[in-house]
Amino acid sequence: MKLFLKVFFLGLFFTAQAQQPLTIEQLINFKKVSIPTVSNDGAAMCYVVETTHVEKNKGSRDLFTASTEGENPEVIQLTNTPNINEYAPQWNAKGSHIYFLSNEEGAPQVWVIDVKSKEKNKITAVPDGVGSFIINKEEQVLFYTSDVKMGKTVSEIYTDAPKSEARIIDDLMYRHWDSWDDYSYTHLFYVPVKNFVVAGAAVDLMNNEPFDVENFDVNSNGKEVVYSCKKLKGKEFAVSTNTDVYYYHTESKQIKNLSEGNMGYDMNPKFSNNGKYVVWESMKTPGFESDKADIVYTDLNTSQSQKLTVNFPEGASNLTWSKNDNSIYFIAPIQGTYQIYQLDIANKKIKQLTQGDHDCKSISLAGGSLIFAKTTMTVPQEIYKYDLSKNKESQLTFVNKKELDQILKGKIEKRMVKTSDGKDMLVWITYPPNFDASKKYPTLLYCQGGPQSMVSCFYSFRWNFQLMAAQGYIVVAPNRRGLPGFGRAWNDEISGDWGGQAMKDYLSAIDDAAKLPYVDANRLGAVGASYGGYSVYWLAGNHNKRFKTFIAHCGLFNLESWYTTTEEMFFANHDIGGPYWKPEMAELYKKFSPHRFVQNWDTPIMVIHGEKDFRVPISEGMQAFGVAQLKNIKSRFLYIPDEGHWVLKPQNALVWQREFFRWLKETL
């Protein structure tokens, strides 16, 4: 008996020892699970797992398969290549082979692997590589995207200056996100294939067009394709969202604009299973990238189109046809989550299928079930199944289970807070592991970017609330004005009012939290990126001594300097309201640009910015840091020369997290 008790208590001791709060290193080393693709018969799925190699400062991706039936199905690793990325899998109709992209021999090419023997072969040898692809049902035609160089570099214009890296720029959109114009355009090609070998010359269906294909789909007959493209250049491209959906037939070579007349975004077209219909996501408002995305349904025989979600309050994404083409499954935001819905095409009735505090990320049909990827605030992306007949959800992959079981997680709470104008606002609060309500904790206000990106149940590998809580901080994350999932008015109110009600919402959230007995009201910080970084800068000049420290990543500091140095001008025109030199805009820039309030800055601030961030150029961060330094405010500038608007390289991510928490430890 004594021996039993000794073993029992030792077991309890080691179990307790095993569970520890999340660390930076654990977060960075979690494996990342991709969106799954499902075999034609719905019985199996293929997905990608990315492994991070911190010492190599990169990751590698491998292919895995598993059954879609039963609980915790057997997993088979198809590839194991630590220095290679194999991704974007697509089953053939028989389920015997999987097509995928691999950079094994340099630029990504289409490969194919035998599911049983694991023998793989390269299919394409496209000089500039393949961006995306679809193989038709009969495996006779391969459609793919690749870049086509149509412009000249300076060294090609002036051949006696071969080492010159100068650029001659006559128009806008000379750089985008994190890349300078490479004088190329992404075109859509198709090529005949026979027995896994290219059997003819590729056809560029956008020959000589200086435009980029965004996404595309292929009819089951392999002869028709629909694709989205913004057929605009330079300044016109920069100020417009007018992306259209085009139909192309490989035999007639005719192109038809299916969305002509709509001046907003039209994206992500999908053929029905019978090939007679097409649906896509359509935004009505020109220049508004976060407008509601309606589902547009088009009969290809009659060319008649209709919107199916006019009365649905939120935008739809991830459109997926039912097997009989009578329904469409889609994902939409609701109250801080992303859920799967079913739309009956005949009567336009919509039913919410999934429930719970999670984010659904994708949908694939597998017989009588839906296979989808999902995250929560405590679990990174895994793959799940929703049984349509039983209305039951089950988990299919457990890639990080062993590591997650060792982590002591903090409690997450939903809290409804009254805003300054009397409305209810959903606020997520994350508590430290082993939370003790009798203690007082330093607390962080998390400011979301976007500005129209919901604070949902995402699992971030940078802004990770569990990691912040593991360091001893309570995290307050409000769904302030401007976020989807709470009705169109709530989403749209932020446009033209960046420093208005949204900032009041932030203050309402942190003031409410400060009243809680376990929140240390004298140790409050505000952190955020992009519009969240803007929010931090704005609050730094308008917080009335609420905060003790700030961290801003890639934030907009001076709206006037930002306006003409960012790239997608339609965003600036819609969300800010227009250029600063227009007389009617003077008051708005005065009220809402953070640089106008630096005379009030008196609080420690950390600035983080990437050199390759062209959405919010690095000069914004440099200006903010310069102000803090010249005002003798404790400040730090974390400069990352090889990152853009995000932090993607493992060692940069490691430094980012360590400096983030070092700053908080010093100042909060």
In terms of C-beta density within 10 A (0-12 exposed, 13-18 middle, 19 or more buried), how is residue 341 classed? buried
Measured CA angle at 654 (ends 651, 655), to 5 deg = 90
| Helix, strand or coil, per DSSP, at residue 449 | coil
pLDDT at site 8: 42
Provide the CB-side half-sphere exposure for 569 (13 A, CA): 18
pLDDT at position 1 over 80 = no
pLDDT at position 626 over 60 = yes
pLDDT band of residue 400 (cuts 50, 70, 90) is very high
The per-residue pLDDT for range 21-45, each reduced to its tens digit, is: 999 999 999 999 999 999 999 999 9
Strand partners, 102: 86, 109
Quick one: which of 546, 525, 550, 548 has its CA closest to 537?
550
The β-bridge relationship of strands 120-122 and 109-114 is antiparallel
pLDDT band of residue 130 (cuts 50, 70, 90) is very high
pLDDT at position 559 over 90 = yes
| Residue 629 dihedral angles phi and psi, to the nearest 5° | -65, -45
In terms of C-beta density within 10 A (0-12 exposed, 13-18 middle, 19 or more buried), how is residue 117 classed? exposed
| DSSP label of 205 | T
Q: Is the peptide bond before 451 cis (omega within 30 degrees of 0)?
A: yes
pLDDT band of residue 18 (cuts 50, 70, 90) is low
pLDDT (average), residues 483-512 = 97
The per-residue pLDDT for range 303-341, each reduced to its tens digit, is: 999 999 999 999 999 999 999 999 999 999 999 999 999
pLDDT at site 70: 79
Three-state SS across 347-362?
Answer: CCCEEECCCCCCEECC
pLDDT at site 474: 98
pLDDT at site 17: 56
pLDDT at position 3 over 80 = no
- The rounded percent of the chain whose pLDDT value lies above 70 is 97
Residues with active-site annotation: 530, 613, 645
pLDDT at position 456 over 70 = yes
pLDDT (average), residues 635-650 = 98
pLDDT (average), residues 95-117 = 97
Q: What average pLDDT does the chain have?
A: 95
542-564 as b/e: b if 16+ CB within 10 A:
ebeebbbbbbbbbbbbbbebbbe
d(CA 58, CA 123): 26
Give me the sign of the Cα torsion angle 416, 421, 423, 427: negative
pLDDT (average), residues 574-593 = 96
Lowest-confidence region among 7-11, 279-283, 521-525, 572-576: 7-11
Quick one: which of 531, 540, 516 has its CA closest to 453?
531
d(CA 623, CA 630): 11
Quick one: which of 542, 532, 537, 536 has its CA closest to 558?
537
Residues 6+ apart with CB under 8 A from 119: 113
Question: Is 17 or 401 the better-scoring residue by pLDDT?
Answer: 401
pLDDT at site 175: 97
| Residue 199, phi-psi category: left (phi > 0), alpha (psi -120 to 50), beta (remainder) | alpha
pLDDT (average), residues 163-178 = 97
Measured CA angle at 527 (ends 179, 471), to 5 deg = 115
**What Cα–Cα distance (Å) separates residue 526 from each residue in 69, 535, 594, 603?**
46, 9, 15, 11
pLDDT at site 138: 92
pLDDT at position 93 over 80 = yes
- The rounded percent of the chain whose pLDDT value lies above 90 is 95
For the chain, give the longest Cα–Cα distance. Answer: 90
pLDDT (average), residues 571-593 = 97
pLDDT (average), residues 276-299 = 97
pLDDT band of residue 71 (cuts 50, 70, 90) is confident
Three-state SS across 58-72?
Answer: EEEEEEEEEECCCCC
